[in-house]
Amino acid sequence: MIESRRTPLPGSERVPLADARATHPVAASERFEVTVRVRRKTPAVDLTPHAAHAAGELPQRRYLSRAEYAASHAVEPADLERVERFAREHGLAVVATSAARRSVFLSGTVAEYERAFGTRIEQYESEGHVYRGRTGPITLPEDVAAVVEGVFGIDDRPAAIAHFQRARDTAVAAIMAHASPTSFTPPQLARIYDFPQGDGAGQCIGIIELGGGFRAADIKRYFGELGLPLPKVVAVRVDGARNAPSNAESADGEVMLDIEVAAAIAPGATIAVYFAPNSDKGFIDAITMAIHDDTHKPSAISISWGNPEKNWTLQAMQTMDEAFQTAAALGVTVCCAAGDAGSGDENPDYLAQAGARPDGRAHADFPASSPHALACGGTRLAASGTRIGTESAWNDDPLRSATGGGVSDVFALPPYQANAKVPPSANPDKHRGRGLPDVCAVADPQTGYRVRVDGQQFTIGGTSAVAPLWAGLVALMNQQLGHPVGFLNPMLYGPKGGTHACRDVTSGNNGAYSAHAGWDACTGWGSPNGTRLLQALKG
């Protein structure tokens, strides 16, 4: 075998976690799996129906079916064959391929991966955390690098944290001094936010989870107490992960919050929960599986996990953004939590879980910062019956308990935000990029959501709750319209969206950015007015 000259794979550079040190090489015989992401068949084509969205003409849009996408925009067979041949030449086993997901799934040993991808794999320790990692870029022969967009799974550090908070998580004196005893069930919020009638029948809401699990007994008890029919909840395994409930102190709180909020808003919808390992490979594989799932066919996907953009590789962010663009072409709405640590997006307590440390700068949370995601921010809500008394940007503590939002360091200002008056970044360089969030809803854990987790009742908040709330609303609108609303962002920023379709939130801040009339970088266009939004979508 004569290998062509090697070249670094753009965007694949890795640096160790804060204060991490390599303790020793990983055993050469250790085996694990890697995902190689391959270029699209028509890479120059923008799959997002921007023009139709910008005009607000949703009924006239035509989405691709999953079969049509696979036929016209997936992967050239020759490109797949090139990657498979390269893998076998280096002793790697091809476990599976998916043209639609543009992925080749490989199995191999540390020694085989080091030879194939020109990297050194070591064990790292940081603040008590241990992970398998690498530094620097991945290298590939030039002919292979020409068709590969990303290699994921060699480094298995945690990719994201869950954006949920229990009320007691923020029970410091400054918060409790103005804490309200009010909390809400999802059906109460559906009435407060004037969601349209329906139960989401015929729809599927996909939920991405990177840990934790659910118990059927909790779901049965919760929905029985709400007087709602028992929803259909399906666990989908990704990369060997599974529904693994443990206790209320774990990620079970995230899983149950997502399921209970989405299903209580749209109890007739199927809830497909994609369980994946908490790594960039697991996250990406779960997203591509959900988008291309031809069995459950989600029309909305809720993602409540994220991390500051600086903690991701460029290849991971570009890969997820492309996946969300594909979702838009298929008519799938992707709702992402905007973060729970204010404009800095670096909760000192939670980031310690991933061995990272705050740097004092403003950061946007990814994947919410993807221009093809519906970024969901958070508010503090006071209501009586179905009447909203006050609603302001959620900010109990700008470092630990406040809505995320701001300006992306990675993604340029998308065309649909050209007239939104997105401010320059709060960082010294004052750059202008994708602004987030797009929308918001109640997220303050002190005025949060009543949920059941591992046999216990909790009030839980965080922008984690806002993503499934909006996903549930999308399911109701899809049911009413008889077709998917798909990628909402350009319509929200167009003449029929904005404050015509949302309830403007004009007070409060998230640290560096303040709420005001119109779009802003902590509450977006505002909280939902479901009936007005549906009417706008009907044209």
Do 101 and 183 lie in a common domain? no
Q: Which domain holds residue 174?
A: 161-488
**Whether 303 and 427 share a structural domain:** yes
How many other β-carbons are positioned within 10 Å of the β-carbon of residue 62? 9
Nearest Cα neighbor of 339 from 487, 164, 469, 524 is: 164
Residue 218: the pLDDT is 98
Q: What is the pLDDT of residue 54?
A: 42
Q: Is residue 375 part of a domain?
A: yes
Tell me, yes or no, whether 69 lies in a domain. no
Does 192 share its domain with 280? yes
How far, rounded to the nearest angstrom, does the alpha carbon of residue 32 sit from its chain's CA centroid?
25
For residues 166 and 268, membership in a common domain is answered with yes
Q: Which residue has the tokens 């990297």?
A: 119
| CA distance linking residue 363 with residue 379, whole number of Å | 19
The active-site residue, picked from 425, 464, 520, 527, is 464
If asked whether residues 129 and 227 sit together in one domain, one would say no
Report yes or no on 58 lying in a domain: no
- Is 370 considered catalytic here? no
- Around 293, how many Cα atoms within 13 Å sit in the side-chain half-sphere? 29
* Exposure string for 443-455, b = 16+ CB within 10 A, e = fewer: bbbbbbbbbbbbe
Query: Of residues 258, 409, 438, 444, which has the active-site annotation?
Result: 258
Question: Which pLDDT belongs to residue 222?
Answer: 98
**Residue 209 sits in the same domain as residue 325:** yes
Kindly state whether residues 192 and 96 are assigned to the same domain.
no
Set 252, 254, 280, 293: catalytic member: 254
Q: What string of H, E and C letters represents the secondary structure of 55-85? A: CCCHHHCCCCCHHHHHHHHCCCHHHHHHHHH
CA distance linking residue 77 with residue 158, whole number of Å = 33
From first to last of its 539 residues, the chain has per-residue pLDDT tens of 566 799 999 999 999 987 889 999 999 999 999 999 999 987 655 666 554 444 344 445 689 999 999 998 999 999 999 999 999 999 999 999 999 999 999 999 999 999 999 999 999 998 768 999 999 999 999 999 999 999 999 999 999 999 999 886 444 333 333 444 479 999 999 999 999 999 999 999 999 999 999 999 999 999 999 999 999 999 999 999 999 999 998 999 999 999 999 999 999 999 999 999 999 999 999 999 999 999 999 999 999 999 999 999 999 999 999 999 999 999 999 999 999 999 999 988 776 665 567 888 999 999 999 999 999 999 999 999 899 999 999 999 999 999 999 999 999 999 999 999 999 999 999 999 999 999 999 999 998 999 999 999 999 999 999 999 999 999 999 999 999 999 999 999 999 899 999 999 999 999 999 999 999 999 999 999 999 999 999 87
How far apart CA 396 and CA 62 sit, in angstroms, is 43
Does 57 map to a domain? no
Q: Which of residues 126, 152, 178 is at a domain's end?
A: 152
Catalytic-residue membership of 464: yes
At 528, which helix (H) or strand (E)? strand 527-528
Total domain count, the chain: 2
Exposed, middle or buried, 234 (CB in 10 Å: 0-12/13-18/19+)?
A: middle
Instruction: Say whether both 140 and 187 belong to one domain.
Output: no
CA angle 49, 53, 58 (to 5 degrees): 100
What integer pLDDT is reported at residue 358 of this predicted model?
A: 81
Cα distance between residue 505 and residue 502, in whole Å: 9
Q: Say whether 139 sits in a helix, a strand or coil.
A: strand
CATH number at residue 370: 3.40.50.200
**Whether residue 402 sits in one domain with residue 442:** yes
In a domain, 522, yes or no: no
Same domain as 208, residue 131: no
Q: Are residues 248 and 378 in the same domain?
A: yes
Residue 502 lies in a domain: no
Task: Give me the residue label for tokens 């990692």.
Answer: 133
* Same-domain pairing of 240 and 385: yes
* 409 counts as catalytic: no
- Is residue 396 a contact partner of residue 446, using CB atoms and an 8 Å limit? yes
pLDDT at residue 376, rounded to an integer: 98
Q: Of 140, 178, 172, 122, which Cα lies nearest the Cα of 37?
A: 140
